[in-house]
Structure 1
Amino acid sequence: MNAIKKPLMDFSLSGQIPFLIFRKLPNMKKLLTALIFSLFTFLQAYAQVDYFFPGESFDPAIPSPEEFLGYPIGDWHTRYDLIVKYYEKLDAVSDLAQLQTIGYTHEHRPKIILTIASASNMANLEAIRQKQLQLADPSKPKPDVSSMPSIIHQGYGVHGNEPSSAEAAMLTAYWLLASQSDLAKNLRANAVVHFDPTVNPDGRDRHSLWANSNKGFPPVADPMDREHNEAWPGGRTNHYWFDLNRDWLPLAHPESQVKIAWYHQWYPNVTTDFHEMGTNSTYFFEPTKPYGSENPVVPRKNYDDINPRFAKYFAKYMDEIGSLYWTKEVFDNSYPGYGSTYPDIHGGLGLVFETASSRGHLQASQRGDISFAFTIRNHVVNSLATMEAALDNREYMHNYLREFFESAVSEGSKDPAKNYVFGDPYDASRNQLFIQFLRDHQIKVYENSSDLTVGGQSFKKGKSWVVPTAQPQYRMVRTMFEYVKEFADSVFYDASAWTMAASYGVPFASAPGAKPGTEVLNSSMPTYEFPEGNAYAYLIDWSDYFAPKMLHDLQQAGIHVELINRDFSSQTQDGRVDFARGTLMIPMGFQKLKKEDVQKHLKELAAKNSQKVYKVTTGLNVSGIDLGSNLVGAVQEPKVIMIVGPGISSYEAGEIWHLMDTKVGMPITKVNSDMFNRVNLFDYNTLIMPSGSYSSLSESSVSHIKDWVNRGGTIISMKSASLWLNQKEITKEAPVELERKPEPKELPFETRRDFEGAKEVGGSIYMARLDLSHPIAYGYRRETIPVYRNTNLFIQPSKDKYLTPIRYTANPYLGGYISKDNLEKLKQSASVLISPTGGGRVIHFFDSPNFRGAWYGTNKLFLNAIFFGNQMD
């Protein structure tokens, strides 16, 4: 490309030339070899530094990344452990650098932050932090911002297979610490810069291994080459195949949990978020698409003034190196869980950057071959531009931070809602999970001081909580409790709805008359006293979120568990208690273990899982069926296999894997689709099929699935997998058909994206109605529940009037974008339906019960399908 400044030499052999030339020469040549090698290494490092930072001088006491790693940046994809080691080296050689570990990933890689500032600022780092927190707290006097350093947070590499940013993180940290330029000196004196070199270390190493293992010598630019086409699931996602650039809001993963905890310790003025896009693109920086991609709670000043103010710096830096760029298109800034949006809702400026990707070391594009080094340089110059812009606007951004939180309290005090009240009277664990979630986002939560009835819902004192709107995190309160229905655009890059109170499935309502009681500073899972003495049986209510985990643990301990399929009342240690269908029973007369061992395990597991255990001394109930009824039966122990691999949605498969690992503790077998022909399904009783294409399955595999399900197996089918089952005549369900409305016969070519995109369901929330008598709904006490949908697949309810246990209500639309035609289809379609197949069944999910690890309210629908699937038809 013309924009690429040619290096002084071709260093593709990374220092190996002297060895190749002199390896066969006599010993007297060793000195010459060493001298030439040293010269070569010097020229190599010089060429690299000059390419990224032309004309600058550096402190020789600070090693460059090339000197430390032993190869030029861009020659290899640097492993995460080496990035950490390089930052450790900077920490060791300079008093101006400080490294801290803030947590660990799923695969136990450290999450690190490197802080760089002047010696005086380093000596007063805690005082600087406290002053920044004071600035963000309207209840405290505003500090003098004239001498406060700018707080800059440089974030890189949330997508593991967008690797250029992490390399840029090393170069930028080196430049800030070692450069002798006036700008670097000014930054060190007047800013505190925090570097997070890789938001997603696990995904990065997955991709780095792929790229390095498939690198050619010389590199192969052909996009069809294996190097540029990762194996499923690719390195974009984390260990559980989640996109961490969506997790700043849900906080489903340790990477995000520790990051958000750190963020609220600093409230940076500016936060960067570096990415890659298609190879034939150029470079993108904010502003994003005006109005159409903006978050509804972010002040207009952020979009109308601050973003354009910073954009001038990015343009200047890109102009200097001749790189092409664009702004104000496509990229979304609406979803609060982005790394570039969350800071906008906290008084800072979040900035997304996207560079054309080499997806390897060299790849052909419409403008010529793009090298890895070129993509890195684009991010380096914008890292520097961000710091210069933040420095020049230091006082302005500090004043904005204060203004942001002051206006939040002011706007919140005028909000007609005044308060939101929430609480599920039957699920103590889920209440506490939601309280902890709100507290993690620094939202103030209070006890509800009196019984309330609002919006047709009752909220009892002691089992409900109040969130006032008049608080500094008012805009996050809106994010948690508001349904958004009005949009400037109808095309969404991602989700168009994110009401987190709905995702947790807790009853909630605006409550202007609520009176907040004592503030809740920490959540605590419920504890219960275990009933002592002899028992005829023990009972466990299925309503609590962790009841499925309790069931799994009981089965693993060898304890026989039965399921009661009707409502009943029993005399317990607490007197008469009414139990709902789905209650678990541990009959003491049918256990292989000794009575004292059953009691010991039961007591330990109840404490571990925060479950209340009821003791009964007779099988004769006060009302309803008795404990020996034919409507009581053994719970089948699940043996679960899930198809994964090419063509299958890694996001959806990862959500299921994550749910089973982290919320149930149940191992499930994940088998690649190209290995499925080796599977004996009769070793399992449940087959999970995430959304995707199953065209790679052979006809013999299809026959095996048909035979297995006909003999009693349970298939849990997610969305588009149901189409494949229909195609293979394993099920026979029908799509919703509406009378076609005439479309315009012609439209301008440039409108195609908006016109066609408006037909998509951009991730939105609807109210569904449960058949509480069906096993899919066990554990639920209310007939309605919010569900999340992100598919255009609309299937008619079952022809069997008993087998559509979850339908949409007459007016189901709660929040997010949906077209009128799609909403009409939705009203006529099923959310969950059951297809009997011989002696087995297929349980179809057309919504997303496990979406992003955040939909606690609908997780149990999916878990019921696993534990009680054989009773659902």
Structure 2
Amino acid sequence: MLKRLLLLLLFCSTLLNAQDYFYKKYQPFNASIPSPETFLGYGIGDHHTRHDLIVAYLEKLAEVSDRASIQYYGKTHEGRKLVILTVTSPENLSNLVAIKEQHLAFTDPIQNVSNYGEVPIFINLAYNVHGNEPSSSEAALLTAYTLVASENPEIANYLQNAVIFIDPTINPDGRDRHTQWANTYQGTPNVADPQDAEHNEYWPGGRTNHYWFDLNRDWLLGINPESRGKLTWYHQWYPNVVTDFHEMGSQSTYFFEPMKANGSLNPIMPKENYGYLNDLFGAEFAKALDSIGSFYFTKEVFDGTYPGYGSSYPDLQGGLGLLFEQASSRGHEQTTAFGKITFPFTIRNQFTSSITTVKTAVKNKAYMHQYQQDFFKSALTRASKSRVKGYTFGDTHDPNRTKAFIDKLLLHQIEVYKSGEGYVVPTRQPQYRMVQTMFETYDSYRDSVYYDASAWSVANFYNMKYQPVTSVNSGKQITSTDGLVSVVPVQQSDYAYVIDWDDYNAPAVLHYLQENDLVVSSAFKPFTVKVGNDSKNFGYGTLVLPVSLQKKDASAVFDLLGKAQEKYQVAMYGVDSGYSLKGVDLGSRFIRPLKKPKAFMLIGNGTRAYEAGEVWHLLDKRVGMPITKIPMRNFDRADFDTYNVMVMVGGRYQLTDKQQQKIKDWVSKGHTLITIGTASKWAIEKKLVKEKLTDAKNDSITKDSTKTVTRKPYVDAEENLGKESVGGIILRANLDTTHPLAFGYYDTSIPIYKNNTVWLRPSQNEYATVAKYDNNPMIDGFITKKNLEENLKPSASLVVSPLGSGRVVLFADNPNFRGSWYGTNRLFLNALFLGDKIRVPEAN
């Protein structure tokens, strides 16, 4: 009994300490509402809290309180719930439908309401987009409890004047990966040594989601279910203020906006957003952090240029996105130059900023409502003043890629209409700034050093041919992509079937047929054949399926083709003769049978998780094809001969001579090695291939080593050197469309994304340079004149180099960047499916 009493006293003491440390000023609390400590059985900050427990606690609050309700906006790749807890006064909660309607009136530029101070302000407190930046989700628990349980008049005022949407964990899969790591290696007592395992996660770490995507770059691209669910929710509510909580290096303090002074700001953003509003909120954050003795900084780093952050996307919706960066304990306690930083300390700063966000938003709710109204009204005004009245687009050769682009437009509530054989997006619409984001390109910014990308014109991501127009003739509005692609059902044939390779989904069809043991060939020269009563032209890469050469009977073959067509909506044709009207016949030696690819990819320490995840996601989700992921730690014992394609994404490969030889020997047997970015650079430097890098620096060295160097201020070094990096630009490259790696492309000009300084020199072999940067390569973004003239223009983007009986496909640039580069995915997939058919003739 005495032991139980002592434990109870200890537990109560923990709760009191937690209240004193975190939220003493918001007492008293409703005793019938369980605190996080009571519910979890441990104090906030004592351990890292699993996502299922976070959800369970919020569900409990919604169950026991008339201030809260919970909704589910999706599930992660791994099946974890994505939830939002809505907290407001009981009166507001019971009248939420009407309040929402009043709020949405401010986002409708046609309406002229002026009840700015009467409608509760909508605040989205969003946490933990990077899974191993965990303090904010713990702060979400404290914030939810404070808002639901506190009976302090200050909190009551907030609830009366605001509707607060708490999204506790934007990235549950990544969070739980990190939570498991941190709790597994937690010591008793805590181990503060930065070299301890607790503070050093194994690859890929918890930052990313299941497919190793950075979800804080996915608001614009909307590739993953976490982002798509949140975007759908967002456009139902249009919050006025949105938080974006992060962590940074342990040796720092705390950052909040304003961001970098004179930073690379999005050129379409109202100055009022990054000027007045950031300063308005920043002053309040400073007071709050001063009151608890926390140090911080502002204006030195970060920028809101890229519109796909959690702190920048809301800015394009008439709201205010707010970035916070907390020095991380990377575990429960860690030694820094300032002393020890603890997990509870990091949580308290995030909690303080959360409540201060609510306080400041409520204080300025009338202003924020009018700002949002003015934002959407100005969209129509700006559009009316522009000479461009719309953008026409579409690709008749590739309806599924066009469909994917339209899906992206609709996800952002952009109005799309049918127009002739294509589509049109009018500029005069509430989402005018998002239309600009999708189509416009820029070459002028206030600064030349970027936190992330300097180019984001999404139409180029999709290699979507578009045209600005000065007048719009629109037809039926497109509100859904359902049924948008409709192909004529394939007609049965006892001779052969022909399948277009132009469509984005064609590789998925090929894999499906190969997986079902059908023999499929590819056309290495164009041809024209009779289809029914008409003649039809077929280009490079067209799939040919001879019926009589299959192990299955004709009806089984037809059944499989029908299922593939229904699944992927790709055009297929039955033909009755192999005699072509033009070009090669179907029995030509240029119609070559394809070997089913069996691919593996090196992952783990030294490899870039983002790029590996993009490959994995592409094959999993769009092709339906498995890829074996071999960790670097298993390199020596892995049997490469099981596979015929190997992928090496960017990274820092520390392979021994023996391991390098293993790769050489395997490729030389006739296999295909695909390298991306810095992996291509590694392959050249290690002499796996005979290609070279463009080296303007060394190529320009003269005998004069006494050149005078102009002295510059040390304080400017970081800024000046940063300009030479390539933070993300869109370039124009020229394709050899007769090369197997470019099969399926009709236009020799293609947009390519570059975010590295890998400069491939065009091959000495006349037939091996598949894509070279154009003489006028810049489409969108910033690059220094030196990099442009000395490195970029002389270089190639894609080269194939022979190695024994095999070949190495060298990508200078990532064709699968962030899962959104539909326009260059085909280059990678061609390397995967057609690579073994590439024969590089000897150079003259």
Helix, strand or coil: the match of 1:216?
coil
Residue 741 (structure 2) pairs with residue 771 (structure 1) = no
CA distance in 2, matches of 1:737, 1:706: 25
Within the candidate set 454, 469, 484, 2:427 is matched to 469
With over 3 angstroms needed to count, the CA separation of the structure-2 counterparts of 1:372 and 1:566, relative to structure 1, is: same
Match of 2:316 in 1: 345
Q: Distance in 2 between matches of 1:574 and 1:836?
A: 44
Contact 2:245 2:350 in 1 (8 A): yes
Asked whether 1:789 is paired with 2:754, we answer yes
Residues of 2 paired with 1:815 and 1:844: CA distance? 24
Aligned residues: 829
2:470 is aligned to 512
**Cα deviations across residues 670-724 of structure 1 (Å, max 9, x unaligned)?**
00111111112111110100011111x3333222211111110100011111232
Matched, 1:85 2:56: yes
Distance in 2 (alpha carbons) for counterparts of 1:368 and 1:519:
61
How many angstroms does 1:594 deviate by? Answer: 1.4
Is 1:822 the counterpart of 2:787 in the alignment?
Answer: yes
1:502 aligns with 2:460: yes
Partners of 1:871 and 1:290 in 2: how far apart?
53
The alignment partner of 1:309 has SS state of helix
Cα shift at 1:619: 0.3
Residue 210 (structure 2) pairs with residue 239 (structure 1): yes
Give the AA of the match of 2:745: Y
Structure 2 distance, partners of 1:730, 1:720, is 14
Per-residue Cα deviation, 1:248-292 (whole angstroms, up to 9, x for no partner): 000010000000000010000100000001111111000101331
Q: Name the aligned partner's letter for residue 642 of structure 1.
A: M
Which of 659, 662, 665 pairs up with 1:701?
A: 659
Q: CA deviation at 1:574?
A: 5.9
Task: Show the counterpart of 1:25.
Answer: none
Q: Which residue, 702, 710, 719 being the options, matches 1:754?
A: 719
TM-superposed CA distance for 1:62, in Å, is 0.9
- 2:730 is paired with a residue whose SS is strand
Cα deviation digits, residues 282-317 of structure 1 (max 9, x gap): 110001013313211110011221111111110110
Deviation at 1:745, TM superposition (A): 3.6
Letter in 1 for 2:426: P
1:590 matched to 2:549? The reply is yes
Distance of 1:527 and 1:80 partners within structure 2: 41
Equivalence map 1:431-830=2 (5 Å): 431-448=402-419, 461-462=420-421, 464-524=422-482, 525-573=484-532, 575-695=534-654, 697-738=655-696, 739=700, 744-824=709-789, 825-830=791-796
**Cα shift at 1:821:** 1.3
User: Which residue does 1:12 correspond to in 2?
Assistant: none
Alpha-carbon distance, 1:566 to partner: 0.7
RMSD of the TM alignment (CA)? 1.2
**Cα distance in 1 for residues equivalent to 2:396 and 2:558:** 28
1:135/1:142 contact within 8 Å kept? yes
Q: CA deviation at 1:857?
A: 0.6
Q: Which residue of 1 aligns with 2:96?
A: 125
SS of corresponding position for 1:329: coil
Asked if residue 388 in structure 1 is aligned to residue 346 in structure 2, the reply is no
User: CA 1:332/1:681 → structure 2, altered by over 3 Å: closer, same or farther?
Assistant: same
Change (3 A) 1:430 1:143: farther
Give 1:217 deviation, angstroms: 0.9
Distance 2:477 2:568 in 1: 26
Q: Which amino acid aligns with 1:175?
A: T
Matched AA of 2:835: G
Counterpart of 2:831 in structure 1: which amino acid?
A: A
Provide Cα deviations, 1:310-341, integer angstroms capped at 9, x if missing partner.
11110110010010011111112111110000
The amino acid of 2:472's aligned partner reads: A
8 Å CA contact retained: 1:531, 1:573: no
Amino acid at match of 2:762: P
- Relative to structure 1, the CA distance from residue 744 to residue 492 in structure 2 (aligned partners, 3 Å threshold; closer, same or farther) is farther
Opposite residue 474 of structure 2, the aligned amino acid is P
- Alpha-carbon distance in 1 for matches of 2:146, 2:616: 42
Aligned AA (1:497)? A
Q: Is the 8 A contact 1:418 1:510 kept in 2?
A: yes
> SS state of the match for residue 335, structure 2?
strand
CA deviation profile, 1:438-497 (whole Å, cap 9, x unmatched)? 01101111111xxxxxxxxxxxx22x1111111111111110001111111111111110
**Residues in 2 aligned to 1:396 and 1:315: alpha-carbon distance in whole angstroms:** 21
| Contact 1:268-1:348 within 8 A present in 2 as well | yes
CA distance in 2, matches of 1:657, 1:803: 27
Q: Secondary structure at the match of 2:636?
A: helix
**1:49–1:740 CA distance, 2 compared to 1 (3 A):** farther
Given candidates 306, 315, 324, the residue that maps to 2:295 is 324
Alpha-carbon distance, 1:740 to partner: 5.7
Cα 1:533/1:282, change in 2 over 3 Å: closer
Residues in 1 aligned to 2:543 and 2:336: alpha-carbon distance in whole angstroms: 61
Q: Distance in 1 between matches of 2:579 and 2:658?
A: 51
Q: 1:491 to 1:651 in 2, by over 3 A?
A: same
Q: How far apart, CA to CA, are the structure 2 residues paired with 1:514 and 1:472?
A: 16
- Give 1:806 shift: 0.7
Query: Structure 1 CA distance, aligned partners of 2:516 and 2:426?
Result: 45
SS, match of residue 769 in structure 2: coil
Is 2:35 aligned against 1:54? Answer: no
Match among 848, 858, 872 for residue 824 of structure 2: 858
Alpha-carbon distance in structure 1 between the residues aligned to 2:376 and 2:708: 47
Bigger Cα displacement from structure 2, 797-806 vs 676-685: 676-685
Which TM-score applies when normalising by structure 1?
0.94
Q: Percent identity between the aligned chains?
A: 48
> Cα offset for 1:143?
5.4
Q: State how far apart, in whole Å, the 1-side matches of 2:755 and 2:819 are.
A: 15
The CA distance in 2 between the partners of 1:555 and 1:436, in whole Å, is 29
Partner amino acid, structure 2, of 1:482: E
**Cα separation, 2, equivalents of 1:59 and 1:504:** 54
1:268 aligns with 239
Deviations 1:725-774 (A, max 9, x none): 22332112212133269784422111111111111111000001110100
Q: 1:326-373 deviations in whole A, cap 9, x for unaligned?
A: 111111211111000000011000000011110000001111100000
**1:612-632: CA deviations, max 9, x gaps?**
111110000111100000111
* Residue 403 of structure 1: aligned partner: 374
- Structure 1 residue 128: deviation in Å? 1.4
CA contact (8 A) 2:116 2:367 kept: no
| Contact kept? 2:491, 2:573, Cα under 8 Å | no
> 1:162-311, aligned counterparts within 5 Å?
162-311=133-282
Distance in 2 of aligned mates of 1:319 and 1:547: 59
Q: Structure 1 residues 574 and 278 mapped into 2: Cα distance closer, same or farther (>3 Å)?
A: farther
Contact 2:67 2:90 in 1 (8 A): yes
1:868 alignment partner, one of 825, 834, 840: 834
Provide the residue aligned with 1:416 in structure 2.
387
Alignment of 1:44 with 2:2, yes or no, is: no
CA distance in 2, matches of 1:722, 1:303: 40
Q: Can you give the 5+ residue segments of structure 2 that lack an aligned partner in the other structure? A: none
Residues of 1 paired with 2:99 and 2:709: CA distance? Answer: 61
Q: Which of 405, 419, 426 is the aligned partner of 2:397? A: 426
* Alignment gaps of 5+ in structure 1: 1-29, 449-460
Q: State how far apart, in whole Å, the 1-side matches of 2:659 and 2:192 are.
A: 38
Residue aligning to 2:3: 33
Shift of 1:793: 1.3
Write the distance in 2 (CA, Å) between the matches of 1:257 and 1:723: 35
Corresponding letter in the other structure for 2:20: D
Deviation of the 1:514 alpha carbon:
3.5
For the Cα contact (< 8 Å) 1:528–1:607, is it kept in 2?
no
Aligned partners of 1:680 and 1:437: how far apart in 2? 41
Please state how far the C-alpha of 1:637 moved relative to its aligned partner.
Answer: 0.5
